Amino acid sequence: MFRSIFFLAAMAASPAFAEWQPSAELGAVSTSGNSDTTSINGRLGLKAEDALWTHEYHLAALRAEQSDELTANRYETAAKLARKFGERTYLGAAARYEDDDFAAYDYQATMAVNYGAWLVREEGRSFQLEGGPGARRARLAETGDVEESALLRGFADYQHQLTDSTKFFNTLLVEATGDNTFVQNDIGVAVSINRSLALKAAYQARRNSEVPDGTRRTDTLASVNIVWSPKAK
């Protein structure tokens, strides 16, 4: 089921799109002395939009070690496809898969259909909301039990170009089921260095409502990344 939505999204992509917009970002920290730590996080993205369709794909990863001991190892892949109806509204589908060696769940896979709208869509500022029903499959790390349940998904995205070189962003994802509610919020600013490069400072909070004893519900990540994203000509 989850493979199908990725396949359908990929099949819907067409060379007729006027412009595909790739992006890549990378952040790394390494310290030595009384303790040796290494942390790296990255993200690859691809977007396209024409008069009727929008496509979004991304792959993100996080890995950290302290004194040669692995302390974080997570990757996530996601795809979104939407059919626009007018300037402000759309219907679409979204799928997400994450694998985390240090979370309450070994993996979580979700898919949903969405109705969405741009409440604000103007030069320098946008605010987008979407939501709809779907399904979730996940495996508990502690027991290996697999959960399958219906899902309600919500998503919000706010972007504001504060100056010619500085952009503020805040995105919120909620995936609610009877077994667990997953919430992720990303907030930060990106400052352009030149036409294709930017420096991004961000703070991410991820929360699972249901976790085993001894496992924290919330994980956070503060990052400073270099972002490559060539501007459309």
* Residues contacting residue 50 through CB under 8 Å, at least 6 positions apart: 16, 17, 18
Token pair in block for residue 59 = 């792959």
Ordered by where they begin, the domains of the chain are 2-228 (2.40.160.40)
Residue 28 has what pLDDT?
Answer: 85
Q: Are 157 and 186 in contact (CB under 8 A)?
A: no
Distance (Å, rounded) from C-alpha 143 to C-alpha 58? 30
Comparing CA positions, the residue from 171, 228, 180, 232 lying closest to residue 204 is 171
**173-212 burial string, b = 16+ CB within 10 Å, else e?**
bbbbbebbebbbbbebebebeeeeebebebebebbbebbe
List the chain pLDDT tens, one digit each, 233 residues. Answer: 445 444 444 544 444 555 889 999 999 877 666 567 889 999 999 999 888 999 999 999 999 988 888 988 999 999 999 999 988 999 999 999 999 998 888 999 999 999 999 999 999 999 999 999 999 999 988 889 999 999 999 999 999 999 999 999 999 999 999 988 999 999 999 999 999 999 999 999 999 888 777 778 888 889 999 999 987 54
Q: What angle do CA 124, 125, 129 make, to 5 degrees?
A: 150
Residue 16 has what pLDDT?
Answer: 52
Comparing CA positions, the residue from 45, 49, 84, 50 lying closest to residue 171 is 45
Residue 29 has what pLDDT?
Answer: 74
Dihedral pair phi/psi, residue 8, rounded to 5°: -65, -40
Residue 11 has what pLDDT?
Answer: 45
Residue 34 has what pLDDT?
Answer: 57
Residue 4 has what pLDDT?
Answer: 47
Query: Which residue(s) pair with 147 in the sheet?
Result: 138
* Residues contacting residue 29 through CB under 8 Å, at least 6 positions apart: 37, 38, 39, 40
